[in-house]
Amino acid sequence: MKDICEAPGVSGYEEYVAKIVRAAFCAHVDEVRQDRMGNVVFLKRGSDSGGRRPRILLAAHLDEIGLMVTKIEEGGFLRFSAVGGIDPRTVVGQEVILYGREKLSGVIGVKPPHLTPADELSKGHKMEDLHIDVALTEESARKLVAVGDLALIRRELIQLAGSTVAAKAMDDRAGLAVLLSCLQELERLRHAADVYAVATVQEEVGVRGAAMATYGVVPDIGIAVDVTHAEMPGVLEHEACKLGKGPGITVGPNIHPKISEEIIRVAKEYRLPYQLEAFPGPTGTDARAIQVTRGGIPTGLLSIPLRYMHTSVELLDMDDLKLSGRLLAYFIAGVDSAFVEGLSCC
Amino acid sequence: MLLKRLSEASGASGDEGEVRSLLKEELSLHVEEVTTDALGNLYLKKGFGRKPRVMVAAHMDEVGLMVVGYEKSGLLRVVKVGSIDDRVLASKVVSIGKDRIAGVIGAKAVHLQKPDERTKAIDINNLYIDLGVRSQEEAEKLVKIGDYATFTAKVREAGDNCLIGKAFDNRAGCAVLAELLKEDFDLELNAVFTVQEEVGLRGAGVAAYSIHPDVALVIETTAAADVVGSKEAAYVTKLGDGPALTLMDSTYMAPQQILDLVAETAEKLAIPYQFRRLTTAGTDAGIISQTHAGILSAVISIPCRYIHSPASIINLDDWQNTLRLARGILNAIAEGGLRLEGTA
């Protein structure tokens, strides 16, 4: 978990983290391939012989939100914009790693408070007010940094109380951890279906990788694993899941009702805790793209409760990951051709 | 590197014990006497009985947070210790109390914010430390009311001979004073690592009273606002331009003969220096200079970008030059460079 969270992988530049995921997954699968977009597709074959085995696609995204240099200012200060959704107010005062011609250490700075008029102090910083300071002269900065270079907030995984941890990029490296734990569980279970576990690219910039991956795999069922909001200050109880109480099983138009019903049935059968998450439209996850690929794919979504999404201290309970992996594996073990056939008639 | 260990130590105002122990351990063998007082100031003395009696002060404390309450959910309510811009707190890691419990300061997910919410600063009343617990009872077992929290940045080399880290204000100054104590000067050197500078210059006053020096030198760290978006007139200091001399701030005015001595010393030794171009805020010199019937005091400071925030930047040439200048000032004083009696 520490390795995959600390690995860099801004949307569109997932190669490094893809390698780490590949190394971790390959012992548990039969085949690995990478498609043109960069999605890494791991195949674990099912046990059914004769006829076409059901295909289940699991998707968790590799990419994380990050920063991109837009201008080298006088004095060597770097202006930047966000790749993915970032609250500028959460990046002020952060240490960053800038991936220039070499790896550079820097700080996200802003005009100091003593130079800020009193009425501005109550306003949040805007991205255009901020700069990355790599403590270089302008001349050196121009040699080592170019417009388009990426930067990430420097953050080691933090072990908190009990099984709680905080890190950057938990969204959605946590989902990848669930996929891995599911593949491990499947080694001791009999499953008819072929499982295509896919580490997808470019989710944060518009769920792009998952669409291409789904098109390529042509699954009978697609399940996305992503993070969802856990309770935190300023959020109403019904807007959020609880930490440590198992994955959220999403219901709503993005989700095939028979899939959510079956996941719930499996959870009850194996006495695995879960929470229901109702979402009234296309979700902001790979499930959004999977559902409308080709002629339509029956789709499900498992969500890991997480606090402070899209900050560098995304916080979750590791127990929820284990529970999610197990639930997903038991669901997969129960899928046969009859279940798949039942999905296309309403 | 002592500066690295000092910077990474935890020591908000009122909780300077870790820094004090570190300095005591590092420096005891180099001095003749080590004492502490009721507030926690650390005194290291060298050259007993020599004239003049010189006090050199650097404050040990850093800005931080203090735990003042619990939410039912187990989140911690905090207040600031010293001056911190609330807007640097969101999405940071902190270390709490003697056991260095890890906590994070979260922020409401951007997805759930209403548009008008996004334009406002997140003030401290809407920020909490999250220990990862699920209840007040669990939180109470880990953290007590009154526990201090500090930032956790590790010292790193960066850019053109710079360092990134927390609490350079004023561990960078402490590190200069520590080096001076390893040398010998022809005067009675009374080094004081002071407490509680950031909450109102509380430690330095009692230290100056106890020592009653002929002259005092304060080694500090000050803001460098030489960043994009700020006008040159507002830079205060510029990183890399050398130690900064204080002319005046909210608490102190530099006596002319002090300025002359410091500037002449810098010029004689070819040390680059600059003036601190801001007349607000204060240093330990503010209180030292007004102790007893008045004590002749000087302030030299290491420029620091993003001071009082989780990650600041200093330039190592500035740090070296501050050490050279402090050494030069002490030698100049030893050679009788100051008129120490009041004029009739």
Look up the ipTM and state it: 0.93
Shared domain for B207 and B89, answered yes or no, is: no
Chain B residue numbers touching A69 (CB-CB < 8 A): none
Among B123, B151, B179, residue at a domain's last position: B151
Lowest-confidence segment of A87-91, B119-123, B211-215 by average pLDDT: B119-123
pLDDT band at A344 (very low <50, low <70, confident <90, very high): confident
Q: Is the pLDDT of residue A225 over 60?
A: yes
CATH for A28: 3.40.630.10
Shared domain for A127 and A176, answered yes or no, is: no
The per-residue pLDDT for B185 is 98
Judge whether B73 is closer than 8 Å to chain A, CB to CB: yes
Average pLDDT, chain A: 95
Question: CA nearest A246: which of A272, A283, A224?
Answer: A272
Q: Stretch A222-240: mean pLDDT, rounded?
A: 93
Shared domain for A119 and A172, answered yes or no, is: no
Shared domain for B187 and B228, answered yes or no, is: yes
Q: Stretch A230-238: mean pLDDT, rounded?
A: 90
Buried b / exposed e over A241-273, threshold 16 CB at 10 Å, is: bbbbbbbbbbbbebbbebbbebbbebbeeeebe
Distance from CA of A193 to the nearest CA of B (A): 36
Shared domain for B134 and B55, answered yes or no, is: no
DSSP, residue by residue, A106-121: EEEE---GGGS-HHHH
Shared domain for B212 and B261, answered yes or no, is: yes
Shared domain for A187 and A315, answered yes or no, is: yes
Shared domain for B122 and B192, answered yes or no, is: no
Q: Stretch A213-225: mean pLDDT, rounded?
A: 97
Is A89 a member of any domain?
yes
In this complex, how many residue pairs, one in chain A and one in chain B, have their CB atoms less than 8 Å apart? 210
Shared domain for A217 and A314, answered yes or no, is: yes
Tell me the three state secondary structure of residue A104.
strand
pLDDT band at B342 (very low <50, low <70, confident <90, very high): low
CATH for B298: 3.40.630.10
CATH for A132: 2.40.30.40
Question: CA nearest A336: which of A46, A57, A58?
Answer: A46
The per-residue pLDDT for A346 is 62
Among A94, A127, A153, residue at a domain's last position: A153
pLDDT band at A70 (very low <50, low <70, confident <90, very high): very high
The per-residue pLDDT for A237 is 84
CB distance B107–A311 less than 8 Å?
A: yes
Percent over 90 (pLDDT), chain A? 92
Domain hosting A120: range is: 78-153
Average pLDDT, chain B: 96
Chain A residue numbers touching B120 (CB-CB < 8 A): 122-124
Copy the structure tokens of residue B273: 């220096």
Percent over 70 (pLDDT), chain B? 99
Shared domain for B53 and B109, answered yes or no, is: no
Percent over 70 (pLDDT), chain A? 99
List alpha helices for chain A, DSSP H.
2-6, 15-25, 118-121, 138-144, 170-186, 208-217, 257-269, 286-291, 318-333, 337-342
- Rounded CA-CA distance A51/A42 in Å is 21
Q: Is the pLDDT of residue A307 over 80?
A: yes
Q: Stretch B258-280: mean pLDDT, rounded?
A: 96
* List of residues 6+ apart from A236 with CB closer than 8 A: none
pLDDT tens for each residue of B229-247: 898 999 999 999 999 999 9
Shared domain for A214 and A300, answered yes or no, is: yes
CB distance B121–A284 less than 8 Å?
A: no
Could you list the active site residues of B?
197
Is A71 a member of any domain?
no
pLDDT tens for each residue of B301-329: 999 999 999 999 999 999 999 999 999 99
Shared domain for B185 and B72, answered yes or no, is: no
Is B177 a member of any domain?
yes
Domain hosting B86: range is: 64-151
Is B187 a member of any domain?
yes
Helix or strand run (H / E) with residue B66 = strand B64-70
Shared domain for A149 and A31, answered yes or no, is: no
B156 vs A92, A105, A164: nearest CB? A105
Shared domain for B173 and B134, answered yes or no, is: no
Is A114 a member of any domain?
yes
Q: Is the pLDDT of residue B343 over 70?
A: no
Compute the residue count for chain A: 346
pLDDT tens for each residue of B75-86: 999 999 999 999
Is A116 a member of any domain?
yes
CB distance A87–B128 less than 8 Å?
A: no
Shared domain for B14 and B121, answered yes or no, is: no
Distance from CA of A120 to the nearest CA of B (A): 9
The per-residue pLDDT for B11 is 97
Q: Stretch A61-84: mean pLDDT, rounded?
A: 97
Helix or strand run (H / E) with residue B50 = none
Mutation target among B110, B116, B280, B312 for the A interface, most CBs of A within 10 A: B110
- Number of structural domains found in chain A: 2
Distance from CA of A106 to the nearest CA of B (A): 7
Chain A residue numbers touching B118 (CB-CB < 8 A): 87, 89, 124
Chain B residue numbers touching A90 (CB-CB < 8 A): 90-91, 107, 110
Is A69 a member of any domain?
no
- Rounded CA-CA distance B172/A309 in Å is 35
Among B122, B151, B180, residue at a domain's last position: B151
Shared domain for B146 and B180, answered yes or no, is: no
Shared domain for A110 and A183, answered yes or no, is: no
Shared domain for B293 and B209, answered yes or no, is: yes
The per-residue pLDDT for B341 is 75
Shared domain for A83 and A57, answered yes or no, is: no
- Number of structural domains found in chain B: 2
- Rounded CA-CA distance A48/B257 in Å is 93
The per-residue pLDDT for A121 is 82
Helix or strand run (H / E) with residue A96 = strand A95-99
Judge whether B233 is closer than 8 Å to chain A, CB to CB: no
Copy the structure tokens of residue B137: 């009872």
CB distance B305–A133 less than 8 Å?
A: yes
Shared domain for B35 and B179, answered yes or no, is: yes
Judge whether B120 is closer than 8 Å to chain A, CB to CB: yes
The per-residue pLDDT for A188 is 95
Among A92, A122, A153, residue at a domain's last position: A153
Shared domain for A174 and A307, answered yes or no, is: yes
Shared domain for A193 and A318, answered yes or no, is: yes
- Rounded CA-CA distance A259/A273 in Å is 17
Distance from CA of A143 to the nearest CA of B (A): 12
The per-residue pLDDT for B147 is 98
pLDDT tens for each residue of A142-186: 999 999 999 999 999 999 999 999 999 999 999 999 999 999 999
Judge whether B76 is closer than 8 Å to chain A, CB to CB: no
